[in-house]
Amino acid sequence: MATDPVCKMNVQPAKTAAKTEYAGQMYYFCSEACHKAFNAEPQKYAGGAPHGGGHTHGGSHHHGH
C-alpha cells in the first residue's frame, strides 16, 4: 500500500491511476489530478514532513552506499 502524497489517501501501486518518480522515490496517485498537482510542486509534497511549513532548507543529499 502506498500513500498519495497530494491528498493523503491510500492507493494500491498495482491499481494506481498515475505514478511518478521523484528524487529516486516512486510516488503513486489516486488520480491524474493529484499527479499533476504533484508535478507542479513536487518539493511541496515529497518532503514527508508531517506538519512542515513547506519549505525545508538544507539540501538533503543522501547517498547511502
Residue number with CB closer to Zn ion (31 or 49): 31
Minimum distance of Zn ion from residue 44's CB (angstroms): 14
Residue number with CB closer to Zn ion (2 or 7): 7
Minimum distance of Zn ion from residue 48's CB (angstroms): 16
| SS3 at position 14 | coil
Beta bridge partners of 27: 20
Q: Which of 18, 45, 13, 42 is nearest to 32 (CA)?
A: 18
Residue number with CB closer to Zn ion (4 or 27): 4
